[in-house]
Amino acid sequence: MDASAKKILDKLKTGKYDPVYLLQGEETYYIDLISDYIEQHALIESEKSFNQVVVYGKDSPMASILTNAKRFPMMAERQVVIVREAQDIPDLNKETGAKMLLDYLTNPAPTTVLVLCHKNKTLDKRKELGKKADKLCVSATFKKPYDNQLVDFVVAYVKLKKQAIDEDAARILAEYVGNDLNRLANEVDKVLISHDQKATITITEVMTKVGISREYNIFELQKALISKDWFQVAKIATYFEANTKKNPAIPMVAFLYSFFSKVLAAHGVSDRSPQGLTSALKISPYAAKDYVAALQRYPANKALEIVSLLSAADLKLKGVNSGSEGEGQILKELVFRMMV
């Protein structure tokens, strides 16, 4: 979990609420996680009808938001005002709206919890509000995670649900979904719905429930290439050639290019242990074993050749010197040449 999000949530779980939370940035998962926690726990159910207000930025000028924030709670210790999509507040980036918010941050109502969910962007640090906001309230900026952090996120999320997942299953899920944490969490939830709580989530279960091809996929092709399993590579390549609509070649080539480019870079790393490669290549510790195996089977000159082959195949697939070859044929020829 993001360190800033954990710090805020840990304090909230002790029952301590600050007057203003400014949650901003590209990674909306943590913004939703914190604001949802406050919405669910800051007030008991009987207090919410009079003391909890949820509005959307595009429908709420700053004066309207602050009028809500300055009210006194009714028969409750506090009131909660949550502003969804705060980046769309009409006058937030105008001098009048920004000044009103800055004045409020300087002297917030002590019985109000104001939550500003400013998604996909941050306040302009060149302006007074952007410069001062971090010091006047609980402020956190969430960036998109790096690819090498995704497997850890999946493992931690599953653990939070009091379940377990094996590292290959976590890895294929992370690689399939990418760094959209909201979607990644949703896909994990999809797996957990009918999962036997006493069992560890396996790669087969993930592929079945998430909808990753149960026949073959790019992750299995990569594993077969790493181990130089000619028979498996041939089967997978033939399958892809016959199913190009479901398995377009361009993203597959891009995926393999990313991997073998890192293999080539790994040849220049002095410490080629899993720990050394994790640090040098900025990859997940769970992926390091694949790079260690690839280094043993693909010397630097071959890795360089493969990167060139992948670049040429990418151009062919995009119509450069492709001749009459279809994308399935191009991919099949490519993987065989990579293995030679």
- The ranges of the chain annotated as CATH 1.20.272.10 are 218-339
- C-alpha span between 185 and 177 (Å, rounded): 10
Nearest to 290 by CA among 255, 240, 331, 250: 255
pLDDT band at 214 (very low <50, low <70, confident <90, very high): low
In order of 66, 79, 173, 180, the CA distances from 177 in angstroms are 39, 38, 6, 7
Q: Check: CATH 3.40.50.300 for 3-142?
A: yes
The DSSP-derived string for 135-177 is HHSEEEEEPPPPGGGHHHHHHHHHHHTT--B-HHHHHHHHHHH
What's the whole-number mean pLDDT along residues 35-52?
Answer: 96
Q: 264-321 pLDDT, tens per residue?
A: 999 999 999 999 999 999 888 888 999 999 999 999 999 999 999 999 999 999 888 7
pLDDT of residue 213: 60
Tell me the CATH class for 218-339.
mainly alpha
pLDDT of residue 61: 97
Token output for 40: 């669910």
- The ranges of the chain annotated as CATH 3.40.50.300 are 3-142
Q: Is the pLDDT at 90 greater than 80, yes or no?
A: yes
What's the whole-number mean pLDDT along residues 51-67?
Answer: 97
Instruction: List the Cα angle 30/10/165 in 5-degree steps.
Output: 65
332 within 8 A of 241, measured Cβ to Cβ: yes
Q: 227-244 pLDDT, tens per residue?
A: 999 988 998 999 898 888
CATH T-level assignment (fold) for domain 147-210: Helicase, Ruva Protein; domain 3 (1.10.8)
- The ranges of the chain annotated as CATH 1.10.8.60 are 147-210
What's the whole-number mean pLDDT along residues 213-217?
Answer: 69
What's the whole-number mean pLDDT along residues 14-37?
Answer: 97
* pTM of the predicted protein model: 0.70
Q: 122-144 pLDDT, tens per residue?
A: 999 999 999 999 999 999 999 99
- C-alpha span between 219 and 226 (Å, rounded): 11
What's the whole-number mean pLDDT along residues 63-74?
Answer: 97
> Three-state DSSP class for 68?
helix
Look at 56 and 175; give whichever has higher pLDDT.
56
